[in-house]
Amino acid sequence: MRKVKRALAAALAVLMAGSLSACGVNVQTKDDANTTAAVTEAKEETGAVDTPADEKVTLKIIDWSDSTKERREAFHKKFMEENPNVTIEYTVLTADQFKETVISAIKAGNAPDLFPLPSGMKLSAALKENWFMPMNDYVSDDFLNSFADGALNEGITTIDGKTYVLPESANIINTLVFYNKNVLKEAGIDESQLPKTRSEFLEVCKKVSDAGNGKFFGIIDSGAQANRLELALRSLASLDGGKCSDISQMILVDGQNT
């Protein structure tokens, strides 16, 4: 387990030496010489070390997905039961709180051990700021090869052959559309002739918005957080055949994604 701890310590040392210009902030170091020493030590500490399997380890995990909180807590509980030497400290925040908290933690040198990319940030930008370490030295090729074809992609989960992030789940069509019968009636749309295709759906939405004249609209997405809208847009794109990763990048299908 010291291999894990040393890897995490190395990541923290490198994070302390980097800047977060991609996020609009810069990390100010007190002593360039101390920073250089920290990075040098970090590189030396990343090597694998064989130590007793019962070494106590605490993993700090921060996340922003409240919709998956219950199943993740269940997974953490089972993992700790099977690995009693590991303690998982799990924190769930809103998307906005998450981004601010992670950036502040990195600046302070106490970043969480595991955390997803903030919404809207690409992996390449995070790597330029030394946010993550590659997983290849800590997981087997068999493990990485166990993912379904297309789950790991260069530029999304992998950079220059090194894997830095893993997808939590496969993308599936998960958008349900609820409609207001009274609004449809006022817009002159027969409930028995609801749209069955994307083009028909867009046509009905426009017709409802025109009829509403600012009082009601053809489609309204729930949730004030930007990531909620992003999830809805990804699902709508999936309905039209688009394959969307959950790490801020669209994958084109037949050269286009509408």
CB 4 within 8 A of CB 11: no
pLDDT in the model for residue 211? 92
pTM: 0.53
The 8 Å CB, 24+ separation contacts for 25-30 are 25/103, 25/107, 27/106, 27/107
Query: Taking the domains of the chain in order of start, what are their residue ranges?
Result: 55-121, 122-171
**Class assignment of domain 55-121?**
alpha beta
* Residues 173-212 pLDDT 10s: 556 778 899 999 999 998 888 888 878 888 999 999 999 9
Reply yes or no on whether the pLDDT at 242 is more than 70.
no
pLDDT in the model for residue 156? 82
Task: Tell me the percentage of the chain whose pLDDT exceeds 70.
Answer: 64
How sure is the predictor about 8, in pLDDT bands with cuts at 50, 70 and 90? Answer: very low
Cα maximum dimension of the chain: 73
Reply yes or no on whether the pLDDT at 225 is more than 90.
no
pLDDT in the model for residue 192? 84
